[in-house]
A and B are shown apart, each in its own frame.
Chain A
Amino acid sequence: MNPSKEIQLEMLRRMVRIREFEMATMDVFKRGQIKGAATLYIGQEASAVGICLALQDDDLITGTHRSHGHLLAKGAASDRVMAEVFGRETGYCKGRGGSMHVAALEVGCLGATGVVAAGLPIAVGAALGFKMRGEKHVAASFFGEGASNTGNFHESLNMAAIWKLPVIFVLENNRYAVSTRVEQSCPIEDLSVRAVSYGIPGCRVDGFDVLAVYQAAAEAVERARSGEGPTLIVTESYRFDGHYSGEPEVYRSREEVNEYRKKDAIPRFCNHLVENGIASPQELEEVQADIAQEIEAAVTFAKQSPQPESSSAMDYIYA
């Protein structure tokens, strides 16, 4: 059964917000207005939004090096994420983290991480803390198919399984770890069967279908909250942009990218909303226009925000 109209419209808003945010990030990056690297989530929006809308506000997530989308899906404010990407004092991390390490603890985002698979053990620990205190919260950890080949993946799924911890492991298969195709790094096609090793459920969903992701997440959350332990969810999607924005992408063809772009989650979900009478084409245009305006304002906010003072560089090293 599909979620309420209200939730479905929120799904749309959050997916569009991520898309617009990432397009804006790409734009300011290409103009040289931000430093560092822009690792964008374009194409994968349905994965983060489907998972995060199945969570409550006080549930937690851990992210990856490609986490703008995870934060926005969990409810982070676009202007404060953008200010962080710009390295400004008004960003969630006061310019100390940047795109790669943006975190927003007030909305349950423990942080993005520059080290592949580093978020899994932290999610396991957060879930352990919840369980020890008798709190019914859930921790969801996002990571890619590349991360599923690390020792952290094995250690974390194993530990969460033996202790029946309330963790949702979200393996976002976007088919490339930088330039390495999933077929070159994983000997099996269906990565959800890796769950079998830990005696936990694993499922594989279309990562371009936000309702399918939401459905899988809702079941996993229910399982976690009722004390039955962790679940592995594999969302099959694709990143439309390079590993970082502007990279040469010599490892894949334009044709392949274009094929996947036809599966784009956002127009597909828009069609669903109109066909099922959940939203009119006019309402969809309003959502698009509102979010575009919000992101434009976020960029303006970030640009106009002060940079951190060099004299404050030694702040926040020790608590």
Chain B
Amino acid sequence: MTAAPARDATSLGAAAPIMPSDLIVQVPPGTPTQELSMQEAIREALREEMLRDPSVFLMGEDIAKHGGAFGVTRTLFDQFGPERVRNTPISENTIVGAATGAALVGMRPVAEIMFVDFSGLAMDQIANQAAKLRLMTGGQAKVPWVLRMPQGGGAGKSTAAQHSQSLEVWYAHIPGLKVVLPATPYDAKGLMKAAIRDDNPVIFLEHKLLYSYKGLVPQADYVLPLSQCDVKRVGTDVSVIASGYMVWHAMLAARQLEAEGISVEVVDVRTVSPLDEETIGRSARKTGRVVLVAEACRSYGPSGEWGMVVMEQAFDYLQAPIVRVTGRNSPIPFADTLENGVWPSTPDVVQAIRSVMA
């Protein structure tokens, strides 16, 4: 019993989807657990890693007493103080560059960019410096930082064109970076701990709609592996490959179709890059039918990459053309009716699954 819906009390609009609480169950029965929202799960991961390792510290805009735009770092300032929960000026490129410099001398910074949409301001330090230093120095340097960035939109949040994008492919296209996009509190906590302990720069994308989603998380320390997909639901008829908030649409669609006798497997691409091609290929070969679901814009988005992996690894096994459900090629408009017009929904996923089964 995990993953309760729990709308964010501050969320706007009327169309935020309510997901059933038992859609995703990840902790085995009998494990001592606590119920955490994704916001709390990320915070606890940060807290535990800061207690474990004095080189871990946080930096970003308004993350100290204010707790960040989404409250993720709230209470950490009181516990760790201004040195390790460090408010910065509005200087995105230097926030990331300073994280790189600190990482080069042995620190493990976790920096925050308030919205992924603002990360263009830091793109040189992310893509040209941090991502390439390992190679450019012939292995002399390592850059163990985590860059936390809220992303995503949809469902009446109405944060419009410059606060709602899904930009994981900007970073997945840069070798040297790892890109994580968790869908549940359990994954968020375990992957954040892995990201902090990893010796590479890790882009950690947090879907804004998921901050308030609750789920059961083990009380004991645990770390999840980066660079692996996670099969969220085992099925035999069709594979749905999804990540981030889209995993929930996939799981809900799978439940609805179960009643019709369609067995859906859901593969969560919780690390977008480096991509675990093997798990995607294995699932596609098993079911022979594939639906791809990604919130990002359709053209040159994640679904194109996943689809090619299926072609390379499972072409001879396919019984139907691959179908994809994606965000449309549009900036995110403000009015929630318009936003819903560009964002994938559970019925879209249901329809896509039916189409590959036909």
A-to-B contact residues, CB < 8 Å: 60, 62, 91-97, 101, 103-106, 110-111, 113-115, 118, 120-130, 132-133, 139, 151-152, 155-156, 158-159, 162, 315-319
B140 touches A92 (CB 8 A): yes
A-binding residues in B (CB < 8 A): 57, 83-84, 88-89, 91, 93-94, 96-107, 109, 124-125, 128-129, 132-144, 175-176, 178, 199-200, 274
CB-nearest residue of chain A relative to B139?
A316
| Cβ B104 vs Cβ A125 within 8 A | yes
State whether A125 touches B100 (Cβ < 8 A): yes
CA of A115 to CA of B100, assembled, Å: 15
**In the bound complex, how far is the Cα of B36 from the Cα of A109, in angstroms?**
44
List 12 A-B residue pairs with CB atoms under 8 Å apart, sorted by A's residue number.
A94-B139, A111-B133, A111-B137, A121-B94, A122-B100, A125-B98, A125-B100, A126-B105, A132-B57, A151-B93, A319-B134, A319-B144
Known: A121-B101, A317-B176. A93 touches B94 (CB 8 A): no
CB neighbours of A315 from chain B (8 A)? 139
Name the contact of A317 in the complex, choosing from B57, B125, B175 (C-beta under 8 A): B175
> In the complex the two chains form, what is the Cα distance from A121 to B93 in whole Å?
8
- CB contact under 8 A between A101 and B93, given known A128-B101, A319-B200: no
A318 engages B94 (CB within 8 Å): no
Residue picked from B88, B91, B140, most chain A C-beta under 10 Å: B140
Given contacts A101-B136, A122-B125, 4 further A-B contacts (CB under 8 A): A122-B129, A152-B94, A317-B135, A318-B178
CA gap between A49 and B256 in the complex, in Å: 72
Query: B88 — which chain A residues lie within 8 A by C-beta?
Result: 159
Are A123 and B139 touching (Cβ within 8 A)?
Answer: no
Q: Which residues of B contact A111 (CB under 8 A)?
A: 133, 136-137, 141
Residue of B nearest to A100 (CB): B136
User: Cβ of B83 and Cβ of A132 under 8 Å apart?
Assistant: yes
Contacts of B176 in A (CB 8 A): 317-318
A128 touches B98 (CB 8 A): yes
- Contact A97–B97 (Cβ < 8 Å): no
Q: B124–A123 contact, CB under 8 A? A: no
Evaluate contact between B128 and A319: CB separation under 8 angstroms: no
Give chain A residues whose Cβ lies under 8 Å from the Cβ of B175. Answer: 317
Contacts of B125 in A (CB 8 A): 118, 121-122
Q: Which of B104, B107, B125, B176 has the most CB of A within 10 A?
A: B104
> A122 contacts which of B89, B101, B132, B136 (Cβ < 8 Å)?
B101
Query: Residues of B contacting A124 with CB < 8 Å?
Result: 94, 97-98, 101
| A121 to B100 CA separation, bound complex (whole angstroms) | 8
Residues of chain A within 8 A (CB-CB) of B139 are: 94, 96, 315-316, 319
The CA of A127 and the CA of B109, in the complex, are separated in Å by 13
A127 CA to B101 CA in the complex, in Å? Answer: 8
B198–chain A nearest beta-carbon distance, Å:
8
Contact A110 to B136, CB < 8 A, known contacts A155-B94, A158-B91, A318-B176:
no
Assembled-state Cα–Cα distance A222/B93 (Å): 28
Pick the 7 closest A-B CB pairs, nearest first. Answer: A125-B101, A121-B97, A94-B138, A125-B98, A93-B138, A155-B94, A319-B199
Closest to A157 in B: B94
Complex: how many Å from CA A104 to CA B138?
Answer: 10
- Cα-based distance from A128 to B134 in the complex (angstroms): 21
- Which residues of A sit under 8 angstroms from B83, Cβ to Cβ? 132
CA of A152 to CA of B121 in the docked complex: distance in angstroms? Answer: 10
Residue of B nearest to A111 (CB): B137
Q: Tell me if B94 and A317 are in contact (CB < 8 A).
A: no
Chain A nearest CB: distance from B245 CB in Å? 28
Give the residue name and chain of the A residue nearest to B131 (CB). Answer: A317
Q: How far is the CA of A92 from the CA of B137 in the complex (A)?
A: 7
Q: Could you tell me the distance between the alpha carbons of A183 and B137 in the complex, rounded to whole angstroms?
A: 35
Contacts of B57 in A (CB 8 A): 132
Measured CA separation A139–B98 after assembly (Å): 12
Asked if residues A115 and B129 are in contact (CB atoms below 8 Å), the reply is yes
Query: When the two chains form their complex, are residues B97 and A152 in contact, meaning their CB atoms are under 8 A apart?
Result: yes
Interface centre among A114, A120, A126, A127 (most CB of B within 10 A): A126
Q: What is the CB-to-nearest-CB distance from B73 to chain A, in angstroms, rounded to a whole number? A: 17
Chain B residue nearest to A131 (CB atoms) is B83
Contact of B200 among A93, A115, A129, A318 (CB under 8 A): A318
A96 & B135 in contact (Cβ 8 Å cutoff): yes
B101 touches A126 (CB 8 A): yes
Contact indicator A159/B137 (Cβ below 8 Å)? no
Q: Are B138 and A91 neighbours in the complex by a CB distance under 8 Å? A: yes
- Chain B residues with Cβ below 8 Å from A156 are 94, 97
Query: Which residues of B have CB within 8 Å of A129?
Result: 101-107
For A115, list chain B residues within 8 Å (CB): 124, 128-129
Q: Point out the residues of chain B lying under 8 angstroms from A128, CB to CB.
A: 98, 101-102, 107
Beta-carbon contact of A110 and B141 below 8 Å? yes
When A118-B129, A159-B88 are in contact, do A316 and B100 touch as well, CB less than 8 Å? no
**CB <8 Å contact, A118 and B128:** yes
Contacts of B200 in A (CB 8 A): 318-319
CB-CB under 8 A from B104, the residues of chain A are: 105, 110, 122, 125-126, 129
* CB closest residue in chain A, given B140: A105
Q: Which residue of A lies closest to B59 (CB)?
A: A128
Measured between beta carbons, the chain A residues less than 8 angstroms from B106 are: 129, 133
A159 touches B98 (CB 8 A): yes
Closest chain-A Cβ to B113's Cβ sits at a distance in Å of 14
Shortest beta-carbon distance, B179 to chain A, in Å?
A: 13
Asked whether A125 and B136 contact (CB < 8 A) given A115-B124, A132-B107, A151-B93, the answer is no
CB distance from A161 to the nearest CB of B (A): 10
Contact B141 A155 (CB under 8 A): no
Closest to A96 in B: B138
Q: Which residues of A contact B89 (CB under 8 A)?
A: 155, 158-159, 162
Partner of B134, one of A95, A120, A316: A316
Across the two chains, which residue of chain A brings its CB closest to B137?
A103
Say whether B138 contacts A113, CB under 8 Å.
Answer: no
